Structure 1
Amino acid sequence: MSYQDQITSPTLLINEQITRANIKRMADKAARNGKKLVPHWKTAQSHEIGNWAKEYGIKEVTASSIKLAEYLCGQGWDNIHIAFPFNPLEIPRLNYLSANHSLSVQLVNAATTQKLANELTHEVGFFIEIDAGYGRTGVHISDFGTMEEIIRIAAATDKLKFKGFYLHPGHTYYTPDKAEIYEQSRQALRMLKTKYQSEFPNLVTRIGDTPGCAVTEDFGDIDELGPGNFVFFDLMQAELGSCTKEDISVCLAVPVVDISLERKEILVHGGGVHLAKDVLVDANGNKNFGEVVLLNEAGWTIPTDRSYVKSISQEHGLIKASDSLMASVKVGDLLGILPVHSCMTADCMGEYLSLDGEKIDHCEGAFLK
């Protein structure tokens, strides 16, 4: 049975071959540079895709929440790092998981560090997250007082083990000069390593963002790479130059429910609850919520004439169609939509369908069942 015969409503397709190629490419880059690849699993959120990653020598993984960390426990990872400023209300859950699994957390203030020192029942590693210009979260690169207070509190207990410094230069998503941002990030982490390595000889530095990791070749003395979106890529990454559209390995299959010949528009069942509402805006102000691909037995092809989702509501998607698409599509057909932000689309959908017709797990789908 064709995978298309199984689809009656919006369904997230995954091309295993392209996904594996993306993972292998980043794993090869890390190995070529002598770095450890610890991918952020907020994009894939899957046991099965994790098994693919292990085939390319990946042994540790990063989670975006304790819920995802719990989902990944028991899957053979050497360590699961929760890369979000730790929420002290979740210490009981952390105690439960750390009884049988190697976990590490991200710390950005003394208050949470003290709560962990007081209440942890098992050893947990920690990174101090550093803000070197992004401005979202983390201890500012010049705030040695906070860094040293975190380290001092942790040193008073045998339950917190200092692993190093974590930096997410997320402004690579918004700034064309990614090389300059990475140079600033390298310098910041080098300074911290020089300052603290005599006291902590096993200290490591980790940097994680897909645009930078995808285009950078010289990572200097950074020890570990932690990108996430590279597993699938998406239209945003293609626009940033991290990949080509041919590297995008997921697409949303959507049923065509109406066609307007007058307006050259196609209405599909596939809206904000499926794609999320991330959007790209072109030079003319046109909004793009996803681009049309043509489904076939081998996956999908990218048409020469671009058609795109011009607007979405909860369940509806409205496609601005090219002449060639208008000439070939009919009500009841399936179209594919390349997502603007694959992490959010996967999170919305909660599972994948392979091109072999097999369902592949996702954390969100598992917790809904």
Structure 2
Amino acid sequence: MPLLPAITSPTLLVHEAVCKANIARMSDKGRKHRLNLIPHFKTHQSRAIGNWYKEYGIEEITVSSLHMAEYFVGQSWKNIHIAFPFNPLEIDLLEQLTLQSSISIQLVNAQVTQLLADRLQNPVEFFIEIDAGYGRAGIEVSDFGAIEAIMRIANRSDKLNFKGFYIHAGHTYHADPAGIHRIHEQTKSALKMLKDKYFDEFPSLKTRIGDTPSCSLESDFDGVDEIGPGNFVFYDLTQVHIGSCNKSDIGIALAAPVVDIKKTKHEILIHGGGVHLAKDVLTYPDGSQNFGELVVFNGQGWDIPETPSFLKSISQEHGLVNATDELLSKVKVGDIIGILPVHSCMTADCMRGFLGLSGEKLDHFKGQQKLQ
């Protein structure tokens, strides 16, 4: 790969062709099932990568904060949705953004809803976030009192417009395909029940789900109108582990310098640790841990060895590879090797910027000043 000689420190490489194939596949799935795809940009947090989605007809996006929304304002998105319970300390910023773009938010309690009703000057659409089993955020699906308290406040306001119900079934990331299917069925059932209950009053309400495993693996979306997955653009080893994708679908790899090799111990020491990859880990039944798997760069991207070598431990800057004989025969001190991440969203967040395979720099919301 021509760009490797220019890499001297950990660098996050993005494989545009793989990423675009992932976007195309999810976009096709949305059209096939009559689902509006509103992808979550917290995975890549990049304007340049965001523009790739426009090639596949994507017009609306999801982000995880108002500040991230601000970064994407001005790129002609029809709507930017913040998929996080609204932070009442940011009402002024919300007001500023609504002057520039259509913004929608998520509400989970009556207190914040009333505060918005009292203070908003510009109209805002909102989803009510529902917890149907994940246990992280949202109103319990059977708590109609809490749901309707939000609706009553919004009905009295000319600034709050109810858009629908949102469920992020994050527990699918810790399940096998059978478990993902059970969770998906529960999610569909919850959304269908809510839509049936409130459709007469709100005939335009939409239902949306946001987890990549369900959106990748499932084929029945009865009761769901919209999907908002994010991780699918890059995928990662966690998604491979649970069956959402293949390793060949992973669209990023950390390029890391080899600084030492101990062949008798089958160990390779790389410059690449928690500050680059985060510390997400796959733990296997025998107790071994995998912080990332090795790939070998070629002229067009990277090759995936048939027998994997993997990062068995990481610290802040160090990564220690459990290497196969095959890898040891190919690698020497001073080489650059690739690491497929366990959690691509966190790796991208750590690295705050990307390098394309042709050597072009791609922006990241948190690294914008460094790359401009």
* Alignment TM class, shorter chain as reference: over 0.9
1:342 aligned to 332, 344, 360, which one?
344
Q: Quick one: which amino acid aligns to residue 366 of structure 2?
A: E
Q: Which runs of 5+ in 2 are unaligned?
A: none
| Aligned residue in 2 for 1:302 | 304
Match of 1:113 in 2: 113
- Aligned equivalents of 1:353 and 1:239: distance in 2? 26
Instruction: Provide the rounded CA distance (Å) in 1 between the counterparts of 2:252 and 2:91.
Output: 35
| Aligned residue number for residue 266 of structure 2 | 264
CA distance in 2, matches of 1:108, 1:210: 22
Match for residue 221 of structure 2?
Answer: 219
Asked whether the 8 Å contact 2:175–2:242 carries over to 1, the reply is no
1:262 Cα deviation from its structure 2 partner: 2.5
Cα distance, 1:360 vs. partner?
0.7
Q: Identify which of 244, 249, 252 aligns with 1:250.
A: 252
Taking structure 1 as the reference length, the TM-score comes to 0.98
Q: Which amino acid in 1 is paired with 2:296?
A: L
**TM-score w.r.t. length of structure 2:** 0.97
Q: For 2:299 and 2:3, locate their aligned partners in 1 and report how far apart those are by CA, in whole Å.
A: 8
Judge conservation of contact 1:41–1:62 (CA < 8 Å) in 2.
yes
2:127 counterpart residue number = 127
Matched, 1:179 2:185: no
What corresponds to 2:73 in structure 1? 73
Q: Indicate if the aligned counterparts of 2:13 and 2:357 stay in contact, CA closer than 8 A.
A: yes
Answer yes or no: is the 8 Å Cα contact 2:128–2:166 preserved in 1: yes
Note the C-alpha offset of 1:6. 2.3
Q: CA deviation at 1:367?
A: 5.4
- State the secondary structure of the residue aligned to 2:75: coil
> Residues 90-148 of structure 1, C-alpha deviation per residue, up to 9 Å, x if partnerless?
11111111111100011001111111111212111100000111111100001011111
Which secondary structure does the structure 2 equivalent of 1:41 belong to? coil
Q: Tell whether the 8 Å contact from 1:39 to 1:62 is kept in structure 2 after alignment.
A: yes
Give the partner amino acid of 2:205.
L
State the distance in 2 between where 1:82 and 1:296 align. 39
Could you tell me how far apart the structure 2 residues matched to 1:3 and 1:146 are? 55
Equivalent position of 2:322 in the other structure:
320
Shift of 1:184: 1.2
Kept after mapping to 2: 8 A contact 1:139/1:146: yes
Tell me which stretches of 4 or more aligned residues in structure 1 moved more than 3 Å: none
Determine helix, strand or coil for the equivalent of 2:147: helix
Q: How far apart are residue 261 of structure 1 and its match?
A: 2.1
Map of 1:196-235 to 2, 5 A cutoff? 196-235=198-237
Q: Give the match for residue 276 of structure 1.
A: 278
Amino acid at match of 1:35: L
Is contact 2:189–2:223 with CA below 8 Å preserved after alignment?
Answer: no
Deviations 1:311-353 (A, max 9, x none): 1111111111111111221110000000000000000001110
CA deviation digits over 1:273-305, x for unaligned, max 9?
Answer: 000000001121111000000011201000122
Aligned-partner Cα distance in 2 for 1:297–1:86: 46
1:365 aligned partner, one-letter code: G
Distance, in Å, in 2 between the alignment partners of 1:297 and 1:75 is 33
When the two structures are aligned, how many residues end up with a matched partner?
A: 369
- Give the stretch that moved more between structures: 206-215 or 1-10: 1-10
SS in 2 for 1:262: helix
Per the alignment, residue 332 of structure 2 pairs with: 330
Deviation at 1:188, TM superposition (A): 0.7
CA contact (8 A) 1:3 1:354 kept: no
Which stretch shows the higher mean deviation, 301-310 or 270-279? 301-310
